[in-house]
Amino acid sequence: MMNPKNSISQIKRLIGRKYNDPELQRDLQSLPYAVTEGPDGYPLIHARYLGEARTFTPTQVLGMVLSNLKGIAEKNLNAAVVDCCIGIPVYFNELQRRAVLDAATIAGLHPLHLIHETTATALAYGIYKTDLPETDQLNVAFVDIGHASMQVCIAGFKKGQLKILAHSYDRSLGGRDFDEALFQHFAAKFKEQYKIDVFQNARACLRLRAACEKLKKMLSANPEAPLNIECLMDEKDVRGFIKRDEFEQISIPILERVKQPLEKALADAGLTIENVHMVEVVGSGSCVPAIIKILTEFFKKDPRHSMNASECVARGCALQCAILSPTFKVRDFQVNESFPFSVAFSWKSAAPGTQNGAAENLQSTVVFPRGNPIPSVKALTFYRSGTFSVDVQYVAGAELQQPAKISTYTVGPFQSTTSERAKLKVKVRLNLHGIVSVESATLLEEEDKPVQMEADTKVEAPKKVKKTNIPVAELVYGGMFPTDVQKAVEKEFEMALQDRVMEETKDRKNAVEAYIYDMRNKQGDPIEERYKESVNRGAVIDQLVRCVNSYREAAVSNDPRFDHIDISEKEKVLNECVEAEAWLREKKLQQDSLPKYVNPILSSADVLKKTETLDRFCKPIMTKPRPAPAKPATPEAPPTPPPQASEQQQPEALAYLLEEEEIEVPVSKEPAKEDVKMDTDEAPNNALPQGSDETDVNMQDAKGTADAPRVENGVPESGDKPLQMEADTKLLAHNCSHGIKLDVIEWKLEEKGPNPTLLL
């Protein structure tokens, strides 16, 4: 809350109550705005409106709230809203109910019913039930633990109807009392720990109360919870911690008061715990586990949470309004409400044996006892010879309402045609709103007229009763006079008109601002954009030209770096460069032909996009890496030789090649061209690490070398049988001090014709 001193809340705690009411004085201690006593003894709320200090009555403020709600409803429904149903606490007395009706009149609403909140909850619960019994009554207890009060209602359900059996309440037991317990606990703790007194700062009190409310909700689901508030007061951050057990311990005085309304409701309904079939819990304070535990222990059954704890009253009010309104068609469901108070009528009467009321005494009778159905009409008969008064007041009891005297009705003046006291019937009504009033007064007079018969005998005719309406004057104690209500309506209309003017002014200002921005964009932005394009266009064109030239030169050059790229790929690059250059030339000619005040055809963004497209196409082709050189063939594993014959059957040439022969080759720094050519990736022999005695050497063109055995016409020098030798020889080079030793490591014998052929 950004402006607590000018933000009015909890208006239901103020309306229709005297300023010196003890309960009101306790409530004022937790309110952040200023409230003083008015000239009539009722509270006045101080606030600033349009920069001026103003005072408002609680009825006026409630009228503002209802007017705002009406505007929201009309905006969403797109239709005028007049009829409504308003939910009120069951403990509202006559004066408070009349104040709510006056507030609705100020807001331009027509309440069809002031329904009790618990009754609205029961209606929202039962109207959708399709399994209600037809004969046996289903008794359900509704426990509403709201922000500031606790209300209990026991309702009996049958198919198509509900009947309120009993009401009970505690006007000052609600969720805020648990918040207050936490607030007092942490206020004392912070004063001791951080040396700050939150009671000296309204904003600090408000922030701490809001944090305590969140803490209460956290303790409903967790066994412990922290409290952290930054810069609560004097630029100090505060921290706290509390467990659920400790919270319940400091809330014991509040929890001890929960059972009393439950016991009273059960007693007034004339039921036992076994006769209560279900228990429904609603309200913002119903989340406290300690309360649920008390309800479970009292009713011997687990309470249910099948209804929306915050919206059930509003739903019930909407359903009741639809039932009473001829505009909507709703399922037939009868609501039998009961009155929570006892109301008596008192008057002064003449003592027996006296005439014309020479001596008078006070008489009283209870007309509407507790539990009386709502609405209800009764008639009282009086015998009077002149004007008299009737007082309406609450019956003294445990729940005495203040003020006890509700209103006074003056009946008369009237004149009787006889000398005796006249007979008057006074009709009193308890209407749907729970307001008691004298509806009418009628003077009854008998007329006796003889009827002449043919036999000259007189026979008495039926008595004829003459009815005359008598005026009745009403005086309600503490209520607003009709003239005051009309003045409040006019003030509310002026304030609503002022709000509408301010809202429309704000809309017009926003429209003007939007028009200015729009015109600035239309007039200024295109000029600025054309100027930026004319400045930046040349640079981005040069960039595209450089990109085209660089890729073209690379594609047509004979540089060895690009000789591995296929010609078809280079042609693609050249074609892309030609296309980009043609596009640029065409667009540039079109742009040069336009005046500078026309939007450009060739924009810098288009040129940059073309450059990126060309680069994205050509770069992968021109930067393609050169393919790696072919790796040498991996030597094949020698095949398993076929089964060999005995040494006596082996050919002489094979026996000759299988003999080891050492050939010494003179060591020279550079071998002759006709010598064996060796390609190796290994380091020179003298660079081999110590302990390495051999390396693989690839020998090429091994046939006819100086180190191979000389063969003439296929016949070895030793004169053995002719052999045909074809092979790429693999040698092992041994690093020896006297030369290189060559060993044959792979051979293959292939028979061709009558002579075998050895493939080396």
CATH number of the domain at 89, please: 3.30.420.40
CA geometry: angle 244, 250, 252, nearest 5 deg: 100
Residue 413, preceding bond cis, omega within 30 degrees? yes
- pLDDT tens for 63-98 read 999 999 999 999 998 999 999 999 999 999 999 999
- Name the residue range of residue 723's domain: 662-759
Q: Does residue 232 lie in a domain region? A: yes
Looking at the structure, do residues 292 and 326 belong to the same domain, yes or no?
yes
d(CA 198, CA 180): 13
Looking at the structure, do residues 105 and 152 belong to the same domain, yes or no?
yes
Contact (CB, 8 A) for 544 and 610:
yes
d(CA 342, CA 93): 11
CATH at 465: 2.60.34.10
242 exposed, middle or buried (CB, 10 Å; 0-12, 13-18, 19+)? buried
Query: Of 736 and 495, which is predicted with more confidence?
Result: 495
Band (682; pLDDT cuts 50, 70, 90): very low
State percent of the chain over pLDDT 70.
78
Looking at the structure, do residues 558 and 502 belong to the same domain, yes or no?
yes
Q: What is the pLDDT of residue 242?
A: 93
Q: Does residue 351 lie in a domain region? A: yes
Q: How many domains does the chain have?
A: 5
Lowest mean pLDDT among 39-48, 144-153, 520-529, 627-636: 627-636
Looking at the structure, do residues 607 and 745 belong to the same domain, yes or no?
no
Question: Rounded mean pLDDT of 567-595?
Answer: 92
d(CA 123, CA 353): 54
Looking at the structure, do residues 80 and 168 belong to the same domain, yes or no?
yes
pTM of the model: 0.68
Q: Does residue 654 lie in a domain region? A: no
> 3-state class of 156 per DSSP?
strand
| pLDDT over threshold 60, residue 685 | no
Q: Does residue 732 lie in a domain region? A: yes
Looking at the structure, do residues 154 and 238 belong to the same domain, yes or no?
no
Lowest mean pLDDT among 224-238, 342-356, 415-429, 691-705: 691-705
Q: Does residue 47 lie in a domain region? A: no
Q: Does residue 635 lie in a domain region? A: no
Q: What is the pLDDT of residue 658?
A: 34
Maximum Cα interatomic distance, the chain, rounded to a whole number of Å: 193
Looking at the structure, do residues 298 and 418 belong to the same domain, yes or no?
no
Looking at the structure, do residues 568 and 707 belong to the same domain, yes or no?
no
Looking at the structure, do residues 608 and 499 belong to the same domain, yes or no?
yes
Q: Does residue 441 lie in a domain region? A: yes
Beta bridge partners of 757: 750
Looking at the structure, do residues 307 and 193 belong to the same domain, yes or no?
no
Closest-CA residue to 178 (of 217, 235, 122): 217
| pLDDT over threshold 60, residue 461 | no
